[in-house]
Amino acid sequence: MSISVFDLFKIGVGPSSSHTVGPMRAAYDFVESLRAQDLLERVARVEVQLYGSLSATGIGHGTDRAVIMGLMGERPDRIDPKIISPCIEELLESQSLLLDGRLAIPFLWPRDMQLLEENLPHHPNAMRLIAHGHSDELYRNTYYSVGGGFVVDEAQAQQGDLDTDTTPLPYDFNSAAELMALCRMHDLRISELMLENEKAWRDEAEIRGELWAIWQAMQECVDNGLAAEGILPGGLNVKRRANALHRRLEAMEDSSSLIASTFSAMDWVNVFALAVNEENAAGGRMVTAPTNGAAGIIPAVLHYYMKFQPGASERDVVDFLLAAGAVGILCKKNASISGAEVGCQGEVGSACAMAAAGLAEVMGGSVGQVENAAEIGLEHNLGLTCDPVGGLVQVPCIERNAIASVKAINAAQMALRGDGEHFISLDKVIRTMRDTGRDMQDKYKETSRGGLAVNAIEC
């Protein structure tokens, strides 16, 4: 299984990579399959069936709307988020779906958008799309949104491997121990090794250019989040806070107090994370890093570095994201980055570890210190449940990103103060995350049937 850093960092829309980005991609792929089989013009009706976690929290995460947009020929990396609500309103009023953006077919929401409680075998995030002709079924496929916007169909899932890219890499690794051994054997930093692996798909100029574009998208998301005010959609009446906090920070006078200056730096980290996750909750454009629910952590820590580190440069951005990507690959390969599979430890925990590794890398950490930073970041998110109130990526998700961003910085700082030697390895922590996720009850894994999701409700 070969995973690129660009599989982990993808430009998309909120509020969820597994429940919004993935389903939109799946529906778009479904339309592409119909086109490839010359079936598009014969379609008279499309039936959408959402299963498991996609059904349980799909409304709050916008899964139903995302599927519709995908069927209309929209892709998450290209769609203008502002068109989604008007398109859905038009469909509900006209009861007509523009398949592929041009073929009008009837779509009766209560009949054709089905939320089913059962789970399908391969993954909790499952959906089935069925295209009907006037008198027969034309085509069906089942898709699994396995986290971070990754999607596989039924045939791929039945192969037993939820990622089918087998591109040979010069420095392939399946564990942190293997990664460190390769780095030491070939005298490479983690970011340098990752760059060599990425060249299996793209040349160096393209890699650097696309990573810089990812950073620009992260910056734009922060800027949009800082500029926006008001109440987030969804019915919880959660107020945006990033704008007001940003204005207060800009108005603050410099203080000679060590505590005040430390608080100020952490306030900036908080505001960056809040801005991203408020934009995500509002369905805006952002970058999965490695998921939408945890999308604020890596941008917040990278913004922190770029703001406060003298001489920070474009090269640092690339190195940060490459090193972070190495840890994300390990989490995905050996556990999961899906909240529906292992709880929020797989989303916020993985992102915290990735951000800690990226920061340690650009601060000059050794291979062992970078691995240690990732280990600390993930270890102290073990057992974290995914229990979004109302099925919305708002409470506790927005604040959780801010807390984890500060935790990532602390993890990097602790690792850099050491020599890279430590008691528990990153591999063992990732394995523990996997085992903890397996033992965790389903109600704590993005179903909104346990934890805060039920205790926050006032009867």
Q: Which domains does the chain have, with CATH numbers?
A: 16-158 (3.30.1330.90), 176-455 (no CATH)
Say what the pLDDT of residue 157 is.
87
Q: What is the pLDDT of residues 391-406, one digit of tens each?
A: 999 999 999 999 999 9
Cis previous bond, 388, omega within 30: no
Judge whether residue 256 has pLDDT over 70: no
Tokens of 286: 């952002």
Euclidean distance between CA atoms 414 and 338, whole angstroms: 27
Tokens of 382: 């073990």
β-sheet bridge partners, residue 52: 125
Find the angle CA(160)-CA(71)-CA(394) to the nearest 5 degrees.
75
Find the angle CA(91)-CA(22)-CA(3) to the nearest 5 degrees.
160
The label of the residue with tokens 């993005």 reads: 446
Beta strands in 84-213 (DSSP E): 96-99, 103-106, 113-115, 125-132, 137-147, 150-153
Say what the pLDDT of residue 241 is.
98
SS (H, E, C) 315-355: HHHHHHHHHHHHHHHHHHHHCCCCHHHHCHHHCHHHHHHHH
Euclidean distance between CA atoms 224 and 113, whole angstroms: 32
The percent of residues above 70 in pLDDT, for the chain, comes to: 96
Identify the helix (H) or strand (E) that includes residue 47.
strand 45-51
**Which segment of 118-132, 151-165, 290-304, 442-456 scores lowest on mean pLDDT?**
151-165
Say what the pLDDT of residue 1 is.
79
How many C-beta neighbours within 10 Å does residue 214 have? 24
Q: What is the pLDDT of residues 153-185, one digit of tens each?
A: 999 888 865 556 789 999 999 999 999 999 999
Residues 6+ apart with CB under 8 A from 34: 40, 43, 131, 138, 139
Q: Which pTM value belongs to this model?
A: 0.91
Q: What is the pLDDT of residues 35-87, one digit of tens each?
A: 999 999 999 999 999 999 999 988 999 999 999 999 999 999 999 999 999 99
Secondary structure class of 122 (helix, strand, coil): coil
Secondary structure class of 421 (helix, strand, coil): coil
Say what the pLDDT of residue 252 is.
82
List the one residue out of 295, 376, 206, 314 whose CA is nearest residue 16.
Answer: 295
